[in-house]
Amino acid sequence: MRNYSLLILALLFTNSFAQKIIQVDLQQAIEMAKTQNLEIKEKSCKIKLAENQLSEVSKNYFLPKLTLRNANGLVPGLEAVKIDSIHYAYSKKSEDTYSNWGPFTDFKLEAIQPVFTFGKLTSLKEAAKANVKVETFEFEDKKSELAFNVKKYYWSCILADEFVNLAKETEKKIREAKEKVEKKLANDEDDVSQSDIFKIRLKETEVQSKKRQAETGKKLALEVLKLSLGLDFSDSLVLVQKVLETLETQDFSLEELTQNSLVFRPDFQKLQFGLKAKKSLIKDAKSELYPQFFIAAEYKFNKTPGRDDVDNPFLVDNSNYNSYSAVIGFKQELNFHLLTNKVEKAKLNYQELLLKEAYSKKGISLQVKKAFLEFEDLKQKVSELEKMEKMTSGWYKTTASDYDLGFGELDELVDAFTAKTQTKQELLQAIFDFNLALARLEKACGKELRKN
């Protein structure tokens, strides 16, 4: 029993230290996500892979093929016997094939240096450079998407918290109203009846259901936010901001945003460098139609001390030799039917991306316009709901005062309170939608639009 108690204490002690409490505001959350999110780390690896490929292509300019081979072993000893003035033969030094064994060394060094490739190396290097840019802007595009999601989840947590607080405030008001009705019923006052209690209890149950939904929504949004920030689910995340507020924005026009989108959006910039890479690959495919000129050098060395060295320039002695050579040559692929097809394929890939660029320009323009119109509509909606909230608050205060003085009706009080809470809920939702619309507009145009 004692061992179990110690184990439980050890687990509790470990968990208390394993759990981290992290407090962040929105900007800190975005910066944390950009460094700790797993998808972001994956994209950063792709940049390094593209840079590695560029380094590999750049090194093909100097000695792309440099090989060294060295083999060592044991062979039986043999002696050379002269047959005539130009012929030699090897004979065994001993009939015992298991004696007179000795070492041998076989060494070979080979090198090839490109001289002129009709633009093949240059085009491959240009394509690799463009690919680094493609992956870099893909990385920036992922960060932009991640920032938008962090904003959405962050504000979702605050919105759910606001709904919970609103429900608690509503529960408090309903409880106060129920106590007043019960007191009047106990005093047999004529302005209330037993049905009023049922109405209040029905409203109380409805509010409790909404409160539970808001609490569940907050938990889910918080867990998704943790995942986006690269945190463990066991970590405790605390948001600095507690109140959902309408964001202030800079002055901008639709025309300005549309023009900026083609300059600042990383996905469109990625497309531009993708076109450069495809164009370079067309040059690479064309270069294979022409000969690839090179310089090659080779050095061979073989030494077998247990065998006689046949010193005759007209004979090949595979046991003992020392030779070297250097040549200028070219390599020409003769399967032109396949090579021309490869060129055509590279051109089609380029044309496909070119059409995608033209389509993206129109699509981005439409996306910016849609986001802008939604932003303007929600901006107006927030303004209207703020006015409605003031009116419903005034209506409720007047009705509550009249009811306390005995001049008002309970039904009117319930209607006024319902209108007040519903308007407040709609306003909170509209503020959330407005802030999200602003974030969506920023993502669409690739530029920060909030006031610092």
Q: Which residue has the higher pLDDT, 184 or 441?
A: 441
**312-367: per-residue pLDDT in tens?**
666 677 788 888 999 999 999 999 999 999 999 999 999 999 999 999 999 999 99
pTM, entire model: 0.81
Which two tokens mark 175? 């409880």
Question: Can you give 292-310 as a three-state secondary structure string?
Answer: EEEEEEEEEEEECCCECCC
Domain 25-61+117-290+332-445 has CATH 3.90.79.10: no
Which two tokens mark 179? 């106590």
* Mean predicted confidence (pLDDT) in 18-43: 89
CA distance 155 to 152: 5
Residue 1, pLDDT > 60, answer no
Torsion region of 230: left, alpha or beta (phi above 0 gives left; psi -120 to 50 gives alpha): left
Q: What is the pLDDT of residue 81?
A: 63
Q: Which residue has the higher pLDDT, 84 or 23?
A: 23
* Mean predicted confidence (pLDDT) in 422-444: 96
* Mean predicted confidence (pLDDT) in 12-34: 77
Instruction: Output the average pLDDT for the chain.
Output: 87
Residue 421, pLDDT > 50, answer yes
User: What are the residue ranges spanned by the domains of the chain?
Assistant: 25-61+117-290+332-445, 69-116+295-331
Find the length of the chain: 452
Long-range contact pairs involving 255-261 (C-beta distance under 8 Å, separation at least 24): 257/368, 257/372, 257/441, 257/444, 257/445, 257/447, 258/365, 258/368, 258/369, 258/445, 260/445, 260/446, 260/447, 261/364, 261/365, 261/368, 261/444, 261/445, 261/446
Residue 111, pLDDT > 90, answer yes
CA distance 224 to 27: 17
Kindly report the CA angle at 244 between 242 and 250, in degrees rounded to 5? Answer: 125
Q: What is the pLDDT of residue 36?
A: 92
Q: Which residue has the higher pLDDT, 2 or 333?
A: 333
Residue 215, pLDDT > 60, answer yes
Could you tell me how far CA 24 lies from the centroid of its own chain? 21
Q: Which residue has the higher pLDDT, 187 or 291?
A: 291
Residue 12, pLDDT > 50, answer no
Kindly report the CA angle at 222 between 216 and 228, in degrees rounded to 5? Answer: 140
